[in-house]
A and B are shown apart, each in its own frame.
Chain A
């Protein structure tokens, strides 16, 4: 390798790593990013992006099945699973190529290999077990991400029990499917396969689907999912998987302690993700870890001066946009920019792209009350919105949680069509510390789904118009 001395060496070119690398280059730093598999990381290659492509196919397929509702006729509706998957892979490939181009354009050195910390300031890179380069970096940022959690007895085998890697490239359309875990990953795959015709059962150990979401929103989403034919068991756990040649019999213990035998073609294990902290040489440094993640301070510094950690490997929420933002703050702090503020983790939105979509930011009603807030709650149903009815998407709710004392918007929670594109309005509002007054004085365009965001705020203060 020509150059081995850098201002910044970043381990991992996922959304956290590559965005941080580009920002570092913008700030004039000589930057290197080491990626062992593919630029763009899990998000772009095996996560956020390819699942959105699959879900888009499912969405259109669903529209086609309901074409008559819109006065359209359509016969011979069907799909070619391989082509649906190929499209998804194509989208991932296109974007990965785009990120490589962006890194090149910003003169970031990309090293293809396995990186390992080799004491403070040093990174050893190997490829196929052979030494490739010894890099030195004034600053080293660990952005190695996370991988699917493997629970004993429920480990993915790539054949009958799938992780998200396998579920993204199914070679056959399972007739029946059991999904363990109803977080964003589990529920999105459940929704995709359910829409495509599989008989889907979701087993969630917590007492609601999408456990981090507001209880009311979760219940509404569950009702919708069940209406679409999904079977959902909450407060239930899969205790045993008995694999046959081409099926799995799952033993599920329900909330009353009763056991059920459910035989399905395939199982998806989506019981969360864990940080990639192994095999990256943390033991050669003073870096501390806690519950599978690297311990960092508010500016992503680890216990080893000059080494930082961002994104999933630095702890929850394990979201691409959190990783990107964390990385930018980290590198700007390293560059000594003025006015670098730590990230407010209370303002990170979360989006789930099942059908119906779920999006949220801030405190749920329950959490707000637990924290001692006296709350005002606003609700506005999709049924009251002209655009939603015109779209034929009249199911859903926008809920807002305000602090009654100060008018601070504490949280916003949504379920329904395209709410993942709406939530950002409230995220900006929360970031700017607006109160109900500014939101009420904001003009929302008509006719849009966003008008419901206005109405929800009005409702919290007893001023709702269209309800």
Chain B
């Protein structure tokens, strides 16, 4: 019997993907292990290998098709002795019954990240359908959404099993448009190394406003760009952010860093950021109320601090994780970050290396910025934005003095972290960074 090749789920959270490219054509002989096609998800472009051998009988989903739901048949593989005539109508019918148009993700992807090309073996029919293959919405809700120019994906469903019903669409309409008509200018990767990304407005380049604007190059969205846009829009819209900022004198830390780095036989080169990672982890350990996530039913307080670090990569950013950062020494943290950042830039991070952090640090100090606010990376409860360390005039004992000062800004989700605990964490963080010998404790 011909074998249906299904759209694989390349990560636990994947609900759909784009069929980027077919590497085998209809009629090509396929050996198990051959790369059949490339699938682009919100996080990565991955190769799909054949499990069975045979001849690629029919391609059901053309390359360049976006939004193909997991488990949608994408091609049919003929085994020995079978011909194209054996491709049963059933397979076609099934493919038709799950057209790409229906196959829009309902669950938000978990992390904005990208992993080019780890090879994934997939392609046999899976007995269990992946959840969230399509958005469930009542006919009336669909029509109301269409009449009001809303994407179902923008609407949270409150009906049975998350089905979108009339009141959800009405609530979305009442909440007003998501953002003004601004198209994010294509920016070089190096200039966008933070989660403070302007969400692309729900508009098209055909909007008449663009005729009045200078000529432009339109860069079609990658999966990562879509994920960044969707998740950060949701975060900025739905999470009640508030900010706490603090100026931190770095002279003691810089002296300690110099001392440690210049030690005989040091096989490490500690950066200021390594100290910040460790200090943030320790202050979160001392303030477990801030190492938290909000869910509908409960506030989750994590028993370990796993720090996500925003790393700029080609086309976006990714957040590799230093697990249990509070329990690791500075040298270990430093080595891990270097290795993770390298893998991130090479696109070799494994999903568990960038998914599941509890708190994020975004550092734009190397660009000389004084301070900035970041958007929380859900479901995390907080993110810290680190500015440049610079010499500033400070008042010490009633007299002006010069100190190396760095401004940091904490953004937290007020649904799970209140002002007092956030301030207490900030106080501890400042104390540790200004008296870094505490890192020994």
Contacts and interface: CB of A to CB of B under 8 A. Distances in A.
Interface stretch (A25-33, A217-225, A277-285, A428-436): A428-436
B161 A434 contact: no
Q: Is the interface of B mostly helix, strand, loop or mixed?
A: helix
Contacts of A432: 138-139
A341 B141 CA distance: 17
Given A406-B147, A408-B166, A434 B140 contact: yes
B161 A407 contact: no
B50 to A, nearest CB: 40
B144 interface: yes
Nearest to B137: A433
Contacts of B143: 406-407, 435
Interface string A387-409: 00000000000000000011110
Contact of A434 (B138, B144, B159, B160): B138
B130 to A, nearest CB: 21
A412 to B, nearest CB: 15
A345 to B, nearest CB: 14
B165 interface: yes
Interface in B124-162: 138-141, 143-144, 147, 158-161
Contact of B161 (A339, A408, A437, A438): A339
Nearest to A430: B140
Interface string B357-391: 00000000000000000000000000000000000
A341 B144 CA distance: 21
Interface in A409-467: 432-435, 437-438
A434 B143 CA distance: 10
Given A406-B144, A406-B147, A408-B166, A437 B139 contact: yes
A437 B147 CA distance: 15
Given A433-B165, A433-B166, A408 B140 contact: yes
Given A406-B144, A407-B143, A408-B166, A433 B160 contact: no
A341 B158 CA distance: 9
A446 B257 CA distance: 86
Contact of B141 (A433, A437, A438): A433
A284 B147 CA distance: 53
Interface in B151-193: 158-161, 165-166
Nearest to A437: B139
B161 A433 contact: no
Given A339-B161, A341-B160, A433 B138 contact: yes
A408 B143 CA distance: 9
Contacts of A341: 158-160
Nearest to B140: A433
Given A433-B165, A433-B166, A407 B140 contact: yes
A461 B144 CA distance: 19
B160 A339 contact: yes
Nearest to B164: A433
Contacts of A339: 160-161
A437 B138 CA distance: 12
Given A433-B165, A433-B166, A406 B140 contact: yes
A435 B140 CA distance: 6
B143 to A, nearest CB: 6
B138 to A, nearest CB: 3
A433 to B, nearest CB: 3
Nearest to B165: A433
B160 to A, nearest CB: 6
B169 to A, nearest CB: 10
Interface string A321-342: 0000000000000000001010
A304 B166 CA distance: 33
B327 to A, nearest CB: 36
Nearest to B296: A338
Contacts of A438: 139
**Which of B139, B143, B144, B159 has the most chain A CB atoms closer than 10 A to its own CB?**
B139
A370 B68 CA distance: 45
A433 B147 CA distance: 16
A150 B101 CA distance: 61
Nearest to A403: B140
A467 B259 CA distance: 96
Contacts of A435: 139-140, 143
Contacts of B141: 433
B317 to A, nearest CB: 35
A204 B144 CA distance: 41
Nearest to A338: B297
Contacts of B165: 433
Contacts of B139: 432-435, 437-438
B162 to A, nearest CB: 8
Nearest to A405: B147
Interface string A221-248: 0000000000000000000000000000
A405 to B, nearest CB: 8
A437 to B, nearest CB: 7
A79 to B, nearest CB: 49
A298 to B, nearest CB: 13
A406 B144 CA distance: 7
A59 to B, nearest CB: 38
A407 to B, nearest CB: 6
A157 B204 CA distance: 76
Interface string B273-302: 000000000000000000000000000000
A407 B160 CA distance: 22
A404 to B, nearest CB: 12
Nearest to B144: A406
**Which of A339, A405, A433, A437 has the most chain B CB atoms closer than 10 A to its own CB?**
A433
B131 to A, nearest CB: 15
A438 B138 CA distance: 11
A405 B138 CA distance: 16
A319 B165 CA distance: 26
A408 B140 CA distance: 6
A407 B144 CA distance: 9
A414 B53 CA distance: 62
A438 B142 CA distance: 12
A428 B160 CA distance: 14
Nearest to B161: A339
Nearest to A339: B160
A405 B140 CA distance: 11
A425 to B, nearest CB: 15
**Which of B138, B141, B159, B160 has the most chain A CB atoms closer than 10 A to its own CB?**
B138
A139 to B, nearest CB: 20
A339 B165 CA distance: 14
**Which of B138, B140, B159, B166 has the most chain A CB atoms closer than 10 A to its own CB?**
B140
Contacts of A407: 140, 143
Interface in B81-122: none
12 contacts: A341-B159, A341-B160, A406-B140, A406-B143, A406-B147, A407-B140, A407-B143, A432-B139, A433-B138, A433-B139, A433-B166, A434-B139
Given A341-B158, A432-B139, 17 more contacts: A339-B160, A339-B161, A341-B159, A341-B160, A405-B147, A406-B140, A406-B143, A406-B144, A406-B147, A407-B140, A407-B143, A432-B138, A433-B138, A433-B139, A433-B140, A434-B138, A435-B139
Interface of A: 339, 341, 405-408, 432-435, 437-438
**Considering the complex of A and B, which 8 residue pairs feature the smallest CB-CB distances, nearest first?**
A433-B138, A433-B140, A435-B139, A434-B139, A408-B140, A438-B139, A435-B140, A433-B166
